[in-house]
Chains A and B, each alone.
Chain A
Amino acid sequence: MSSVIKVDNLSKIYRLGLISRRTIAEDLNKFWSRITGKENPYLKIGETNVRSVKGKSDYIWALKDISFEVKDGERFGIIGKNGAGKSTLLKILSRVASPTEGKIRIKGRVASLLEVGTGFHPELTGRNNIFLNGSILGMTQKEIKSKFDSIVDFSGVERYIDTPVKRYSSGMYVRLAFAVAAHLEPEILIVDEVLAVGDAEFQKKCLGKMHDVSEKEGRTVLFVSHNLQAIKNLCQKTIILNNGELFASGETEEALKRYNQLNREIKITAETHVNNIKNRRGSGAIRFTGIDVLDDTGNKRFEYELGETVRFKISYRTFKEMQGITLIVALLSGLSRECLTLACYDIVKSKVEPGVTGEAVIEFNDINIKPGEYPLYFELIDNKLNSYSKDVVDDITAPLVIKRNDYAEKKSFDPSKPSGFFETPSRLTLNEIFRESDRIRA
């Protein structure tokens, strides 16, 4: 198999100094003060204008010396924490952004889905938006026409196809948008974390479609996701980005193992702004400043056997007044990432001022969750009734891994019986079934 994408020593630098657009007035002012020999009025205190001193903080290496190859027909995963550079990499591959150094060579037509529904116009009908979005993604009118029925079919919104999309529910909107993208026929399909939206069933359908696109039609798929399960199911090869650098690459199994190692180092700070971390949500009235997963001897670890003790130690800091603080610890399960609450405690019951820091430990003894891998979910909310969440983080640590052992046998029940979320002893007793029709006959 030959390579269809070859990335050589790719680097991308964002210059923070250039980000803020100026006004002409500011520049004229600067110019004027230079002529009159006054101090630059826009220079911040403690900051100098000397280029060499300007230094590190002004530059971000979003990508640093990345090299890899993607083979024809491969399903290729890209994972990494927030800010690792995944989107930047995909943007460069899609020609939305330009690299600073290095080069990329590509064979064949590329279609990228960095977002679903780019360019959808709310006033246009579903039908018109299919054509608009399709052309934005690079399809010709003829192509779209020939695939129109199939697109509508896949989206499942045929009843509303002549209704303006502003009337669509967000689910319908996403379905229609993905349907268009799914019918692109590029040699290479690039998909960023777009499946985070949409319901579980639809996500499954999308993943299935991506699988088909690769398996049946021999296309190459590059796929970024937070959902490790999806990566595991879909991708043959995976690379891990960490702080803009290539941390590991190889078979997905291997790469995921390395990723879990990487995640053992947990570093989040209260200062990290909400907007910088995409999967940190909430109003910001309170922030997690640390999250640790410990065993009963206080060692950090993420793999546990059934029956062991797990402690979640969290610390926080408040930024606004809170009526009280509630902590929720939950596991995310399966492809659809259902949220399974493990514990919900009022950790502080009275009013808290801004600037307070605190710590809480929740301990679970005799853990009996069904063996598997569970991404962790932490949430802090205000005790006030109907409060919005104040800080939510998930995937910030490695997933909790529960391993099978003889726990079940010790509790003397059959471990092969399916028993939902918990590995709790259970026994099935069936009562006789009565049918309505039976009663009529009797």
Chain B
Amino acid sequence: MSKNYSDSDWTLEIKPVSGWFNFHIKDVWRYRDLLLMFVKRDFVAVYKQTILGPFWFFIQPILTTITFTIVFGKIAKIPTEGLPPMLFYMSGVVCWNYFSDCLTKTSSTFISNAHIFGKVYFPRLVSPLANITSLLMKFGIQMLLLTCFIFYFIANDADVHPNIYILITPYLILLMAGLGLGFGIIVSSLTTKYRDLTFLVGFGVQLLMYATPVIYPVSALPDEYKSLVKLNPMTSIIETFRFSFLGAGSFDASNLLYTTVFVIFVLSIGIVIFNRVEKTFMDTV
């Protein structure tokens, strides 16, 4: 090996934590293989889980949808924009599941990876990024389920009209992932200080669902609530999703733009806080 370093060739300088804006996003890219390995690990872990394992991915949305159909559709008689209630609820549930999974999973990043983080350096952001990627597997399976249901209903002449806006779905997924990631890493940074935060978040996410048009369409809301619910960045995502796959409701580009800005904002704050906490976190465990 020939290494003819001169004194100015230092490749790395380790200094005390200072400032909030020393990022190493480039490092994240360098560790993309690790991200893939984490995703692969999650796949295998899920696959090898209990007997239910991946089967649970089907059962959970179906049971939730049936419950919603009975409680909110049959009993509370909340309108579903003329859509078959099953499809209406399931589309909401599938999207909501992905977002809330992203949020809850990434919000325990520091706690559940404390052991690895204490022993090896890699850009910590790789872990939550791997989480939201792995969760795509579950989302994909549930989307498949939803698609089957849509075909079934179309075959039975239901008033369901998938349209060209379906092409926007990847962008919607990106927004959901970004939103879940952004909130998740903020929470995970705070959990290094407050250990009961994770439970609060779990509960908060459940409540938040009712402020999101999962079980009701925005159009069914009284006017004074409409603008309030539209402040929720998930609203435009779910509405757009329903519009493109089921053809009900409307497409509102400005709402989607609002969500985009919101996601960028939350993500930026999240990355700044996360980036700061990842350097001091090991001192507190």
Shortest distance from the beta carbon of B104 to any chain A beta carbon, whole Å: 17
For A164, the closest partner residue in chain B by CB is: B48
Say whether B37 contacts A131, CB under 8 Å.
Answer: yes
Q: Does A124 contact B (CB under 8 A)?
A: yes
Say whether A105 contacts B12, CB under 8 Å.
Answer: yes
> Which A residues, 51 to 107, have Cβ-Cβ distances below 8 Å to chain B?
72, 91-107
> Which A residues, 186 to 219, have Cβ-Cβ distances below 8 Å to chain B?
187, 217-219
For B192, the closest partner residue in chain A by CB is: A21
Contacts A99-B16, A128-B40 hold; do A141 and B118 have CB atoms under 8 A apart? no
Bound complex: CA A132 to CA B116 (Å): 12
Say whether A101 contacts B14, CB under 8 Å.
Answer: no
For A131, the closest partner residue in chain B by CB is: B37
Say whether B120 contacts A96, CB under 8 Å.
Answer: yes
Chain A residues with CB below 8 A from B15, complex form: 99, 103-104
Q: List 8 A-B contacts (CB under 8 A).
A: A2-B7, A98-B17, A106-B11, A108-B5, A108-B11, A123-B48, A128-B40, A219-B1
Proximity string of chain B (117-134) to chain A, C-beta cutoff 8 Å, 1 when within and 0 when not: 111111000000000000
> Which B residues, 86 to 118, have Cβ-Cβ distances below 8 Å to chain A?
115-118
Say whether B1 contacts A114, CB under 8 Å.
Answer: no
Q: Which residues in A have some Cβ–Cβ distance to B below 8 Å?
A: 2, 4, 6, 14-15, 18-19, 21-25, 27, 72, 91-110, 112, 114-115, 118-119, 121, 123-124, 128, 131-132, 135-141, 187, 217-219
Shortest distance from the beta carbon of A263 to any chain B beta carbon, whole Å: 28
B63-71, B178-186, B275-283: which lies at the A interface? Answer: B275-283
**Interface-central residue, A109, A123, A139, by most chain B CB under 10 Å:** A123
Q: Which residues in B have some Cβ–Cβ distance to A below 8 Å?
A: 1, 3, 5-7, 9-17, 31, 33-34, 36-38, 40-41, 44-45, 48, 115-122, 191-197, 200, 279-280, 282-285
For B196, the closest partner residue in chain A by CB is: A23
Q: Which of A27, A100, A108, A138 contacts B16 (CB 8 A)?
A: A100
Chain A residues with CB below 8 A from B279, complex form: 98
Say whether B6 contacts A135, CB under 8 Å.
Answer: no
Say whether A4 contacts B14, CB under 8 Å.
Answer: no
Q: Which of A23, A97, A118 contacts B195 (CB 8 A)?
A: A23
Say whether A22 contacts B195, CB under 8 Å.
Answer: yes
Q: Which of A94, A128, A137 contacts B44 (CB 8 A)?
A: A128
Shortest distance from the beta carbon of A334 to any chain B beta carbon, whole Å: 29
Say whether A97 contacts B194, CB under 8 Å.
Answer: no
Shortest distance from the beta carbon of B197 to any chain A beta carbon, whole Å: 7
Shortest distance from the beta carbon of B161 to any chain A beta carbon, whole Å: 44
Shortest distance from the beta carbon of A95 to any chain B beta carbon, whole Å: 4
Say whether A21 contacts B193, CB under 8 Å.
Answer: yes
Shortest distance from the beta carbon of A275 to any chain B beta carbon, whole Å: 14
Shortest distance from the beta carbon of B1 to any chain A beta carbon, whole Å: 4
Say whether A112 contacts B284, CB under 8 Å.
Answer: no
11 A-B pairs besides A118-B116, A136-B122 with CB distance below 8 A are: A19-B283, A98-B14, A103-B13, A105-B10, A106-B12, A107-B9, A107-B11, A110-B12, A114-B120, A135-B31, A136-B37
Say whether B41 contacts A24, CB under 8 Å.
Answer: no
Bound complex: CA A174 to CA B64 (Å): 45
Q: Which of B17, B36, B195 contacts A21 (CB 8 A)?
A: B195
Q: Which of B13, B36, B38 contacts A105 (CB 8 A)?
A: B13
Say whether B40 contacts A23, CB under 8 Å.
Answer: no
Chain A residues with CB below 8 A from B14, complex form: 92-93, 95, 98-99, 103-106
Shortest distance from the beta carbon of A99 to any chain B beta carbon, whole Å: 5
For B118, the closest partner residue in chain A by CB is: A96
Shortest distance from the beta carbon of A31 to any chain B beta carbon, whole Å: 13
Bound complex: CA A110 to CA B41 (Å): 25
Contacts A2-B6, A106-B11, A135-B37 hold; do A94 and B196 have CB atoms under 8 A apart? no
Q: Which of A21, A92, A101 contacts B284 (CB 8 A)?
A: A21
Chain A residues with CB below 8 A from B116, complex form: 118-119, 136
Chain A residues with CB below 8 A from B197, complex form: 24
Chain A residues with CB below 8 A from B283, complex form: 14-15, 18-19, 97-98
Bound complex: CA A137 to CA B193 (Å): 28
